[in-house]
Amino acid sequence: MLLNQSVIPLRTARLPITLLLLLTPVLVLTFIYCQAGRLTWLLEVGPALLGFIVLAMTYRRLPFSDFCYVCVFLHTLVLVYGGYYTYAETPLGNSVK
């Protein structure tokens, strides 16, 4: 059996899929119940959503490390927090003032 040189063996996608499954309800619930308005939420979180689409499309050709996927996940949570309240009105920021 000949091996095709252009096919990169797929590593397990368990962690990226798990992170996406954890993030999906957070995205849906914060979009539905956002306090700052849905347009603000979309403007804050939209770049992360586009990033997820790019990461999913390039996964077979350019898989990143698990550390990178965890960092993207955590950064998306920060963006969702900012999109939910807007960064100017976050309770965490107001408590520091």
Over the chain (97 residues), what is each successive 10-residue block's mean pLDDT? 50 84 94 90 92 89 90 93 84 71
Structure tokens, 66: 């698990």
Nearest to 51 by CA among 16, 18, 34, 76: 76
Query: Which pLDDT score is estimated for 23?
Result: 94
* Rounded Cα gap, residues 53 and 8, in angstroms: 20
Query: Which pLDDT score is estimated for 78?
Result: 92
